[in-house]
C-alpha cells in the first residue's frame, strides 16, 4: 500500500511523515529551494502473523507494508499543480490530507488563518483541478483517435467525457459508480479524486481532541475516518524511553500511538483485509481489498499464480492456531478446497495450487 501525504504549507506534513516512518526529514519550509520528495515505509504489525510463524516454525516473517511519499518543500500553489503531483502520486492507493489546526509563533499559518475545514475544501478543489487537467488533455487525443470508429476508443472517449463532466461539476470521482472494466481502465490515469482519502487534523498543544462540526461534516461527506493527531508532540515523545511515554500522553491529553491509528484508518479508508501465506521458510501477510476472489488474491503473491490458478487450500487463522497446525487442520477436516471465485476472508491462511 502506498500513501501520499498532502497539505497546505506549514500544515505539518513532514512532521507527520517523520512520526509515521521514524524518519528525520528536514521540516524547515522549502529548505532546499527545490521540490524535494521524502520517501519512507513502515511495517503493519499483526500479532496473527507472528503466531503463524511460531506454528510453522518460519525462518522469515514478512509483514504487510505501507510506503509513504511526502511532497515537501514546494511553495504555495506550485505544490499542488497536476504536473507536480501526479508523477509522485499516480500509483498511490490513498492520500493523507493534513489539515492544520494549531497556532505557532515559530511557524505562523499562511495568511494568519487556521481553518482546517477551509483547508480541506482548498486541497480537494486543487485535486479536482488536477484531475480535470488530466481528463482534458486525454480527451484532446481521443477526439482525434475516435474518428477511426474504433469501438474501444469510442468507449474510452465516452468514459473520460463522463469523468470530465463530473469534475467540472466539482464532484470527486470516488463518488461515481464505475463497473469493473471502467475501474480497471481508469486506474491507469492516476486520478487523485479516485483514491481513498484520510483527512488528518494536525492539532497543537492544548488543542481540542474533537474537530469542529463543520470539519466533521466535510470529512464524513468524503466517507473517510477523520484522525486528530498532535504530530509534533508525538514526535518529541517518541524520543523518550518507551516506559515514560504513557505518562506524557496522559499529561498532555493525547491518545498516542499515531502510527497504529493511522494504519487502522488507512485500512478502513481502502476497505482492506489481510490474508496469510505460511510455510517453514516464510510467513507473510498480504493486504487486499475486501471482496477479492481467490485467483486475484493469488496474483498478489505472484502473477504466475493468478494465471495458472488451480485451487486454494484455505484454513481460517483461528482454526489453524487452535488446532496447532496445518496437518492437524487437515486431519480434522477443517481445510477447505476453494476455486478461483472464492471470496477471500480476513484472516484466511491460503496454500495456493497453480500450474506454472
CATH code where residue 202 lies: 3.40.50.300
Q: Are 126 and 170 in contact (CB under 8 A)?
A: no
Do 181 and 296 have their domain in common?
no
Confidence of residue 79 (pLDDT cuts 50, 70, 90): very low
pLDDT at position 148 is: 64
- pLDDT tier for residue 209 given thresholds of 50, 70 and 90: confident
Tell me: do 102 and 51 sit in the same domain: yes
| Mean pLDDT of the 275-287 span | 97
Residue 331 lies in a domain: yes
Q: How far apart are CA 100 and CA 111, in angstroms?
A: 13
> Is the domain of 207 the same as that of 342?
no
What pLDDT is attached to residue 80?
A: 45
Predicted model pTM = 0.88
More confident residue, 255 or 227: 227
CATH number at residue 350: 3.10.20.30
278 in a structural domain: no
Asked if residue 277 is part of any domain, the answer here is: no
Output the pLDDT for position 3. 96
CA distances from 50 to 36, 58, 95, 191, 274 (A): 37, 9, 29, 36, 14
Cell numbers at 154, concatenated:
469510442
Report, as an integer, the average pLDDT of 208-233.
89
> Are 141 and 188 members of one domain?
yes
* Average pLDDT value for the chain: 88
Does 125 lie in the same domain as 57? yes
pLDDT-above-70 percentage for the chain: 91
Which of the residue ranges 55-69, 81-95, 132-146 would you say has the lowest mean pLDDT?
Answer: 81-95
Read off the pLDDT of residues 159-174 as tens digits, 9 standing for 90 and up: 999 999 999 999 999 9
299 and 258 in one domain?
Answer: no
Q: Is the per-residue pLDDT at 267 higher than 80?
A: yes
Residue 183 domain flag:
yes
Residue 57 has pLDDT above 70, yes or no: yes
DSSP for 246-290, written as a single string:
HHHHHHHT----HHHHHHHHHHHHHTEEEEEEE-SSEEEEEEEET
What 3-state DSSP class applies to 229?
Answer: strand
Instruction: Check if the beta carbon of residue 266 is closer than 8 Å to that of residue 68.
Output: no
- Do residues 90 and 211 share a domain? yes
- 80 with 216, same domain: the answer is yes
Q: What percent of the chain has pLDDT above 90?
A: 65
The tally of domains found in the chain comes to 2
Q: With 60 as the cut, is the pLDDT of residue 137 above it?
A: yes
What pLDDT is attached to residue 186?
93
Co-location of 34 and 170 in the same domain: yes
Q: Evaluate if residue 29 carries a pLDDT over 70.
A: no
For residues 261 and 296, state if they share a domain. no
Answer yes or no: is 284 within a domain.
no
**Is 90 exceeded by the pLDDT of residue 205?**
no
Closest CA to 98 of 202, 28, 17: 202
Domain assignment present for residue 238? The answer is yes
Mean pLDDT score, 289-311: 96
Is the same domain home to 128 and 207? yes
Q: How confident is the model at residue 81 (pLDDT cuts 50, 70, 90)?
A: very low
Question: Comparing 17-31, 183-197, 226-240, which segment has the lowest mean pLDDT?
Answer: 17-31
**What's the mean pLDDT in 73-87?**
50
Range(s) of the domain holding residue 340: 291-354
Q: Is residue 76 part of a domain?
A: yes
Judge whether 230 lies within some domain.
Answer: yes
Q: Are 290 and 347 in contact (CB under 8 A)?
A: no
Domain match, 206 and 316 both: no
**Which of 236, 269, 302 lies at the terminal end of a domain, its last residue?**
269
Amino acid at each position: 500500500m502506498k500513501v501520499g501525504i498532502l497539505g497546505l504549507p506549514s500544515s505539518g506534513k513532514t512532521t507527520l511523515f517523520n512520526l509515521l516512518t521514524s524518519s528525520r526529514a528536514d521540516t524547515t519550509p522549502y529548505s532546499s529551494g527545490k521540490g524535494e520528495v521524502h520517501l519512507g515505509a513502515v511495517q503493519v504489525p499483526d500479532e496473527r502473523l507472528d503466531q503463524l510463524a511460531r506454528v510453522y516454525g518460519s525462518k522469515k516473517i514478512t509483514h504487510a507494508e505501507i510506503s509513504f511519499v511526502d511532497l515537501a518543500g514546494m511553495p504555495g500553489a506550485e505544490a499542488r499543480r497536476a504536473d507536480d503531483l501526479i508523477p509522485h502520486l499516480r500509483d498511490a492507493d490513498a492520500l493523507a490530507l493534513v489539515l492544520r489546526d494549531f497556532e505557532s509563533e515559530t511557524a505562523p499559518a499562511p495568511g494568519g488563518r487556521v481553518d482546517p475545514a477551509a483547508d480541506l475544501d482548498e486541497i480537494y478543489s486543487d485535486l479536482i483541478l488536477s484531475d480535470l487537467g488530466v481528463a482534458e488533455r486525454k480527451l484532446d487525443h481521443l477526439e482525434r483517435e475516435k474518428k477511426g470508429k474504433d469501438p474501444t476508443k469510442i468507449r474510452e472517449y465516452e468514459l473520460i467525457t463522463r469523468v470530465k463532466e463530473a469534475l467540472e461539476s466539482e464532484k470527486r470521482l470516488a463518488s461515481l459508480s464505475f463497473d469493473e472494466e471502467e475501474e480497471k481502465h481508469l486506474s491507469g490515469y492516476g486520478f487523485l479524486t479516485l483514491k481513498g482519502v484520510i483527512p488528518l487534523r494536525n492539532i497543537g498543544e492544548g488543542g481540542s481532541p474533537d474537530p469542529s462540526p463543520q470539519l466533521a461534516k466535510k470529512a464524513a461527506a468524503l466517507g473517510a475516518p477523520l484522525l486528530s493527531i498532535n504530530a509534533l508532540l508525538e514526535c518529541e515523545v517518541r524520543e523518550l524511553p518507551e516506559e515514560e511515554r504513557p505518562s506524557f500522553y496522559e499529561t498532555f491529553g493525547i491518545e498516542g500511538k499515531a502510527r497504529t491509528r493511522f494504519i487502522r484508518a488507512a485500512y478502513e479508508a481502502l476497505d482492506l483485509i489481510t490474508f496469510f501465506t505460511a510455510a517453514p521458510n516464510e510467513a507473510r501477510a498480504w493486504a487486499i481489498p475486501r471482496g477479492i476472489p481467490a485467483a486475484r488474491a493469488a496474483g498478489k503473491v505472484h502473477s504466475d499464480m493468478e494465471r495458472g490458478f488451480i485451487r486454494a487450500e484455505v484454513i481460517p487463522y483461528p482454526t489453524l492456531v487452535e488446532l496447532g497446525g496445518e496437518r492437524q487442520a487437515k486431519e480434522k477436516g477443517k481445510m477447505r478446497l476453494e476455486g478461483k471465485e472464492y471470496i477471500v476472508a480476513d484472516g484466511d491462511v491460503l496454500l495456493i495450487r497453480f500450474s506454472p
